[in-house]
Amino acid sequence: MRAAIQALSLLLFTLLFALANYRLPDWLPADIYLRLDPLLGLSAILAGRTWVPRAAWGLVLLVATLLLGRFFCSYVCPLGAILDFLDRPLFGRVKRRTLESDAALRNVKHVVLILFVAAAMAGSSLVYLLDPIALLTRTFTFALFPPFVGLVNLVLDAVRPVAEAMRWMRIATLSYAQPVFYMSLVTFLIFAGIVALGRLVPRFWCRYLCPLGALLSLLSPLGRLRRTVGPECPACGVCQNACPMGAALDEGGTRVAECIQCRTCVAACPQDLVTFPASPHALATGTSERPDLSRRGFLYSVAGGAGLGFAVQQSPFTPLQNKQQLIRPPGALPENEFLTTCIRCGECMKSCLTNTLQPTLWESGLAGLWTPKLDMRFAACEQECNVCGKVCPTQAIRSLDLEEKTHAKLGTAVLKKETCLVWAQDKLCLICDEICPYDAIVFRTIDGFRRPFVIASRCNGCGYCEQRCPVEGDSAVVVVPIGQIRLSTGSYVTEAKKLQLDFKPNPGDDQFILKSEGLRVEPKKHETAGPQAKRPPARPAAKKPKGFLP
């Protein structure tokens, strides 16, 4: 029964993860698990000192925990489900010694929680490091999704000869774009480490480390459902050994805060003495253990967290935050707010249509780990897609309609004349002009050749030019954050209008192509070239416009 619910929850989590792509309908909250996690919302609100509307969903889980106890961990949490499901196949034959005095270990999760909350109050959102839902979504995105697609493609490749022979063309032509990410391996190793800790004791992560579990355990003793053991209990110890959380104690005692209502003990008890009555008097019965933190320990944790939060910010990255080369997703909050609000779940990067969204490593310091950036040499931002904001659980990337998103200028393309084939080598190339969806690249006559220029007011930084530039190595046209529009509230369209930007796609200005020959301009036709245009033509004059002959 519990395993079935767990499996369903994990399935739902996976399904929503799979559905997070550019086709996501507006009504479907693919990020609902992340929204329900009160710790993520709390941390974002504290660190950003701002209200996060989607964080209100976290109240649902808080209230439910107040009423029912810590059922989330045993029934809903997808990471808990994975740890449970992997426990038997991985560690079923391992003899795990019971950790007798693990009170100190149990407190680690409370210390972790206090550290993160204190850090958030000091202005750094670090909870993403260990929050189970953010961590698992991130693991799915970077570590599990790419190899999964790879595996599917391998199977399809294996089936393909048969499918071709049978003319099953849907299968024969099927192949999925392979997503690739930086930091896949490190993300996987963290996840693998959490699974591996189960070697020591079942649900090691949940017992000792999980900060969400720690938060919920503060509320769960108030829950109505309470483990109760009949007075005839002979203290046989069976339930104590069976309990995955170490919550069952000698002689019918219960660590109420640790109990996740999984009812393993109910099934295990040889005399059927364990029940979970929904008693209004439940509070009065049973034993309860408070988190065993001394005042000193508590203060140390607070101080440590605040210090950590402070230290993370005190680096040149913070004052330089608006001078980074990083291109953030369209609709990303202003950099400082963005870093405090982003919970590094990776959902935006998973759903990105072109795979241009990539996690950062150190590009913006410790405060910026795993935050999304655009890698435009690799892929451009597709103008018909706005999914990254839609799936952002804390709205660090604002959810924008396509019109607004088009005006959320990412940056501006800059031409590097030293490497541009036209500027540096007088070659015929106009790929950037051809691919630009906004006609932001125009040609003007310089030194007897038509040379590309970027019209900054038309460029919204989508990056197609950077991606497609045929120069080997670094692109000769690069999107830099100059002119990026980052708003925490208000309309990007209004802002763009105010700045006199014009992202309406215009008809091409490439008529010149037919009016003269190619990029070269006959000296007598010079109008703008001026006295510098003395350089002898590097190539023999063609007779007529580009692509056409006399």
Which residues of the shown chain bind another protein in the complex (CB under 8 A)?
22, 157, 167, 169-170, 173, 175, 177, 353-354, 382, 384-385, 421, 429-431, 433-435, 437, 439, 468, 470, 505-508, 510-511, 513-515, 544-550
Tokens representing 172 are: 């024969």
Provide the minimum distance between the beta carbon of 111 and another protein in the complex, in angstroms, as a whole number: 46
Provide the minimum distance between the beta carbon of 206 and another protein in the complex, in angstroms, as a whole number: 39
Provide the minimum distance between the beta carbon of 189 and another protein in the complex, in angstroms, as a whole number: 29
Task: Give the whole-angstrom CA distance, residue 424 versus residue 87.
Answer: 62
Shorter beta-carbon distance to another protein: residue 199 or 544: 544
Q: Return the C-alpha torsion angle 450, 452, 457, 460, nearest 10.
A: 150
Shorter beta-carbon distance to another protein: residue 257 or 430: 430
Shorter beta-carbon distance to another protein: residue 258 or 517: 517
Q: Compute CA distances 491 → 24, 226, 486, whole Å.
A: 23, 50, 10
Q: In terms of Cα–Cα distance, which of 541, 549, 547 is closest to 426?
A: 541
Shorter beta-carbon distance to another protein: residue 173 or 315: 173
Provide the minimum distance between the beta carbon of 372 and another protein in the complex, in angstroms, as a whole number: 18
Task: Supply φ then ψ for residue 328, to 5 degrees.
Answer: -90, 165
Provide the minimum distance between the beta carbon of 464 and another protein in the complex, in angstroms, as a whole number: 9
Shorter beta-carbon distance to another protein: residue 142 or 438: 438
Shorter beta-carbon distance to another protein: residue 255 or 405: 405
Task: Give the whole-angstrom CA distance, residue 121 versus residue 345.
Answer: 21
Provide the minimum distance between the beta carbon of 506 and another protein in the complex, in angstroms, as a whole number: 7
Task: Give the whole-angstrom CA distance, residue 414 versus residue 381.
Answer: 17
Shorter beta-carbon distance to another protein: residue 116 or 438: 438
Long-range contacts formed by 437-444: CB under 8 A, 24+ apart: 437/383, 437/462, 437/464, 437/505, 438/462, 438/503, 438/504, 438/505, 438/506, 439/505, 439/506, 439/507, 439/508, 439/509, 440/413, 441/413, 441/465, 441/477, 442/509, 443/509, 443/510, 443/512, 443/519, 444/528
Provide the minimum distance between the beta carbon of 149 and another protein in the complex, in angstroms, as a whole number: 12
One-letter amino acid of 118: A
Q: By the 8 A CB rule, do 544 and 517 touch? A: yes
Task: Give the whole-angstrom CA distance, residue 352 versus residue 389.
Answer: 10
For residue 523, the Cα-to-chain-centroid distance in whole angstroms is 55
Provide the minimum distance between the beta carbon of 539 and another protein in the complex, in angstroms, as a whole number: 12
* DSSP letter string, 4-29: HHHHHHHHHHHHHHHH-STT--TT--
- For residue 308, the tally of other CB atoms under 10 A from its CB is 18
Shorter beta-carbon distance to another protein: residue 25 or 89: 25
Task: Give the whole-angstrom CA distance, residue 27 versus residue 57.
Answer: 15
Shorter beta-carbon distance to another protein: residue 190 or 421: 421
Provide the minimum distance between the beta carbon of 426 and another protein in the complex, in angstroms, as a whole number: 14
